[in-house]
């Protein structure tokens, strides 16, 4: 699966951001005239300017995923190896139950893989 597809899955299922499914043309009156753009009816965002962060390839964006999971009581442990990263998701309280495990050659990708698994989404390995 393409990394940008993974980013979109993370955006929807983990970050629970709007996917802008209901788009209408919106006209806005500004000082310089009329500004017409496709706007999401649900969240009001200009869908041309809306960009899904590169969660699976950018560490700064992946940290947002990490923090979002932590805010829900899901904690990530990272193991570093010579040629891949392994990420385990667990709950802090209760018995040490492993929620999910994933590994990838890049840390952001491993974080996204495990975050999706926690949310019941399996990314096919290509
Ligand atoms: Zn939207």
Q: Is 97 exposed, middle or buried (0-12, 13-18, 19+ CB in 10 A)?
A: exposed
Domain match, 9 and 65 both: yes
Domain match, 90 and 114 both: yes
Domain count, the chain: 2
Q: Which of 24, 26, 18, 21 is nearest to 43 (CA)?
A: 18
Domain match, 59 and 112 both: yes
Kindly state the percentage of the chain with pLDDT values over 90.
Answer: 79
Domain match, 104 and 116 both: yes
Domain match, 25 and 57 both: no
For residue 1, the CA-to-ligand 1 centroid distance in Å is 24
Q: Is 75 exposed, middle or buried (0-12, 13-18, 19+ CB in 10 A)?
A: middle
61 lies in which domain range? 1-17+53-126
For residue 46, the CA-to-ligand 1 centroid distance in Å is 8
Quote the pLDDT of residue 108: 98
Domain match, 42 and 88 both: no
Chain segment 13-61, per-residue pLDDT in tens: 999 999 898 999 999 998 889 989 999 999 999 998 989 999 999 999 9
For residue 8, the CA-to-ligand 1 centroid distance in Å is 13
Domain match, 101 and 123 both: yes
Domain match, 61 and 106 both: yes
Quote the pLDDT of residue 44: 93
For residue 26, the CA-to-ligand 1 centroid distance in Å is 13
């Amino acid at each position: 699966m393409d990394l940008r597809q993974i980013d979109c899955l993370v955006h929807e299922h983990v970050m629970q951001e709007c996917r802008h499914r209901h788009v209408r043309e919106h006209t806005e009156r500004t000082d310089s005239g009329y500004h017409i753009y496709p706007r999401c009816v649900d969240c009001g965002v200009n869908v041309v300017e809306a960009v899904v962060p590169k969660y699976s390839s950018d560490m700064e964006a992946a940290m947002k995923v990490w923090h979002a999971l932590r805010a829900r009581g899901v904690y990530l442990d990272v193991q570093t190896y010579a040629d891949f990263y392994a990420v385990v998701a667990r709950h802090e309280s209760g018995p040490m139950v492993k929620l999910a495990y994933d590994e990838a050659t890049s840390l952001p990708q491993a974080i996204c893989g495990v975050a999706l698994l926690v949310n019941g989404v399996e990314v096919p390995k290509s």
